[in-house]
Amino acid sequence: MEGFLEIVALVESEQHVCTRYRLSAYKEHFGKSGYILRYLTWPKSLLGLLSLAAKLQNKTVILQRKLPPAWMTWLIRRSCKHLIFDFDDAIFLRDSYSKKGLDDRSKLARFIAISKAADAMVAGNRFLADSATHYAGAAKVFVIPTVIETSKYQNAPAGTLSDSLKMVWIGSKSTLQSLEIIRPILEELGKTFPNLSLKIICDSFPTFDHLKVSSVQWQESNEVAEISAADLGICFMPDDRWSRGKCGLKLLQYMAAGLPVIANPVGVHSEIIRHEHNGFLATTYEDWANAIALLYKNKEQQKAMGSRGREIVDSLYSVNANATHWVTLLNTLTHQKLQAG
């Protein structure tokens, strides 16, 4: 488009959750500020990788998540005019459930290489930013959280205030292991609170013996309505460095839908949840049971906590609240004057 500066985003897929929530969400704001976002996906062949350099020639490039080998990082850096690396996971580590442990020399070496090569490192939380700062220097590191397009949630149906309490958990098959860790707590809650249920929005579904569970196949088109039809959002992460790299998307989705939340106090959970204000930080069964009991007894408090959570998302974790951070960064790199809107 004439008059627009093209930004090339090199991504795994346009439909990847990271791309949808961290880049595509800003397309309208980028356009108002004179930028057009074009996606390229990673080539599958060596020839495709080599030809990638020509497509990036003299471009401002946002490389998202993927840690290329050193030679590829060098080639991208040599080709593009500006290089931004955007990440929302501790990609320099293995995940919490790896039998090999968290530390991975190869991943770390690639992360160090991209940290040094990039003009800017955009991290989804402070833990990730601190990790990048160690190699890139503080001046090149920026924190921009994963965000919610809150307008999508405005017309979602509200959960009913009945004698039942409907919990919801959303995630992928790979993160179901976190539910397995708290299975004993959830099973015990099912015994204690007969009208308690759990909706699992996923692509794979576990069964429980004592907790009523409903299974909903995840689709982008249904996630807002399905989350909003619940009363309470839940989340759990193992207490380790991989988890501290997580950016809290589940919690933000629940809160955008006006739900109170329960999660363990690990990583960004402790930043997003203000205990007994918009949700509960729970470690033990007693913590969970006390929170559930309180919400059972006081439906007005349930509603009030959900409203406060929505306010937090609007003010800190929404597209509108963070668009200026991205636009300012692009303006700084491309030496364009900040435009209104």
Tokens of 293: 């009991």
Residue 102 and residue 198 in one domain: no
Does the residue 60 lie in any domain? yes
Residue 117 and residue 209 in one domain: no
The CATH number of residue 159's host domain is: 3.40.50.2000
Residue 95 and residue 110 in one domain: yes
Spatial distance between the Cα atoms of 90 and 16, rounded to a whole number of angstroms: 17
Helix (H, G, I), strand (E, B) or coil at 314: helix
Does the residue 121 lie in any domain? yes
Spatial distance between the Cα atoms of 124 and 314, rounded to a whole number of angstroms: 17
Residue 164 and residue 34 in one domain: no
pLDDT of 163: 77
Does the residue 30 lie in any domain? yes
pLDDT of 47: 87
pLDDT of 1: 59
Tokens of 183: 């299975």
pLDDT of 161: 53
Spatial distance between the Cα atoms of 244 and 10, rounded to a whole number of angstroms: 25
pLDDT of 83: 98
Spatial distance between the Cα atoms of 134 and 188, rounded to a whole number of angstroms: 44
Q: Which of 277, 271, 278 is nearest to 255 (CA)?
A: 278
The answer to whether the CB of 280 falls within 8 A of the CB of 261 is: yes
**Domain range for 157:** 150-316
Residue 118 and residue 198 in one domain: no
Tokens of 235: 């989340």
Count the domains in the chain: 2
**Helix (H) and strand (E) counts in the chain:** 15, 12
Residue 232 and residue 143 in one domain: no
Does the residue 339 lie in any domain? no
Q: What are the pLDDT digits (tens) for 38-78?
A: 999 999 888 888 889 999 999 999 999 999 999 999 999 99
Residue 27 and residue 70 in one domain: yes
Mean pLDDT by 10 residues, the chain (341 residues): 86 95 97 96 88 94 96 95 98 96 98 98 99 98 98 64 87 93 98 97 96 96 95 98 98 98 98 98 98 92 96 98 98 65 33
Residue 87 and residue 233 in one domain: no
pLDDT of 137: 97
Does the residue 132 lie in any domain? yes
Helix (H, G, I), strand (E, B) or coil at 263: strand
Q: What are the pLDDT digits (tens) for 209-243?
A: 999 999 999 999 999 999 999 999 999 999 999 99
pLDDT of 185: 98
Does the residue 340 lie in any domain? no
Residue 160 and residue 291 in one domain: yes
Spatial distance between the Cα atoms of 193 and 217, rounded to a whole number of angstroms: 26
Residue 178 and residue 275 in one domain: yes
Does the residue 277 lie in any domain? yes
Does the residue 130 lie in any domain? yes
Determine whether 213 is exposed, middle or buried from the number of CB atoms within 10 Å of its CB (0-12, 13-18, 19+): middle
pLDDT of 159: 47
CA distance to 120, 206, 293, per residue, from 333 (Å): 9, 47, 52
Phi, psi (deg, nearest 5) at residue 188? -65, -40
Residue 78 and residue 93 in one domain: yes
Residue 324 and residue 309 in one domain: no
